[in-house]
A and B are shown apart, each in its own frame.
Chain A
Amino acid sequence: GGIITQTPKFLIGQEGQKLTLKCQQNFNHDTMYWYRQDSGKGLRLIYYSITENDLQKGDLSEGYDASREKKSSFSLTVTSAQKNEMAVFLCASSYRAGSDYTFGSGTRLLVI
């Protein structure tokens, strides 16, 4: 079976710092996604990518960059971490847009 791996699992950053989160999948899925989850809330889409080198903005793209370096990997950059920010970032993939999804276990971010 396949797996989707997010690194790091925990990330502590300082205010103003640029932080990069990574996601790898070996399902050979075409589409990959980055979501943000705040405590007690549902997930909100930051960026998604339909294929290698493609990039599409979600509802929450301001303050973030993303890169789909190859089909199996999708990275997310927090361009300037905000003080007291605390959230979980979840990566997901699917064979095509709108089909069944597989999620990673998340990266937990804390900014001090």
Chain B
Amino acid sequence: GQQVQQSPASLVLQEGENAELQCNFSTSLNSMQWFYQRPGGSLVSLFYNPSGTKHSGRLTSTTVIKERRSSLHISSSQTTDSGTYLCALVNTNTGKLTFGDGTVLTVKP
């Protein structure tokens, strides 16, 4: 089965609403990373987060190793937050990233 499962697959919000994106792993976690991908664009690293909680502006990432899950919380969503959010398992020995299929977020004005 797939090593990295992301949910939901897609999410539609009204501007100002909050979003909670989930990432679950079926294997032991080396580290994990959250990325944002603009429509048709490159990936931007949001968080490199092996464990615990990290904050960046309106974004919060929480990784719980023993439960093999990580979440990304977006508060007060804006239309510019629209795009695809990808999480990835990081193998810190090889550098290999194993990605989930992503959550497509649409924020409507």
- A-to-B contact residues, CB < 8 Å: 31, 33, 35, 40-45, 48, 50, 56, 58, 90, 92, 94, 96-106
Contacts and interface: CB of A to CB of B under 8 A. Distances in A.
Interface residues of B, number: 26
B45 interface: yes
B24 interface: no
B92 interface: yes
B83 to A, nearest CB: 14
Given A35-B97, A103-B35, 15 more contacts: A33-B97, A40-B102, A42-B4, A42-B100, A43-B43, A43-B99, A45-B96, A48-B96, A50-B95, A97-B92, A97-B93, A98-B31, A99-B95, A102-B45, A106-B41
A48 B41 contact: no
Nearest to B41: A105
B94 A100 contact: no
A28 B88 CA distance: 24
B42 A105 contact: yes
Nearest to B6: A42
11 contacts: A31-B95, A33-B97, A42-B100, A43-B86, A48-B94, A48-B95, A97-B93, A98-B31, A98-B93, A104-B42, A106-B41
A56 to B, nearest CB: 7
Contacts of B4: 42
Contact of A98 (B35, B41, B95, B100): B95
Nearest to A106: B42
A99 to B, nearest CB: 8
Contacts of A102: 45
Contact of A97 (B41, B45, B94): B94
Contacts of A41: 101-102
Contact of A42 (B30, B88, B90, B91): B88
Nearest to B87: A42
